[in-house]
Amino acid sequence: MPDSQGLKALLGAYGGSDIAGGGGINWGYWIANILFGIIGWCAFMYGWKQKSIRPSIIGIALMLYPWFVTNTILVFAIGIALTAALFLWRE
């Protein structure tokens, strides 16, 4: 069983400082990550079933870009732009 210092160090490494309060967790980033990941998965599956490359590529981009962007505002901006591209860039 880890001691309290080890647990705090472990939580600090993953963005949280407190179990109850979730002190350092950026909830906006995680909500955006999950939201655009779900939209990306749906777009990818739609493109896969329709044999269309555009929604598949945009879906993959929606699922992967939050791994490389850590700014919450930028994650939302890119996600909104890619989601809009799904509707604007049709065949």
pLDDT at position 90, please? Answer: 72
Instruction: Say if 6 falls within a structural domain.
Output: no
Q: Has residue 30 been placed in a domain?
A: yes
39-62 residue pLDDT tens: 999 999 999 999 999 999 999 999
Residue 41 lies in a domain: yes
Q: What is the pLDDT of residue 25?
A: 78
- The verdict on residue 42 lying in a domain is yes
Domain that holds residue 82: 26-88
Band (pLDDT 50/70/90 cuts) for residue 73 is very high
Measured between alpha carbons, how far is 90 from 39 in angstroms, rounded to an integer? 16
| Number of domains the chain contains | 1
- Residue 27 has what pLDDT? 86
Task: Extract the tokens encoding 17.
Answer: 């400082």
**Per-residue model confidence (pLDDT) at position 61:** 95
Q: Are 39 and 5 in contact (CB under 8 A)?
A: no
Residue 49 lies in a domain: yes
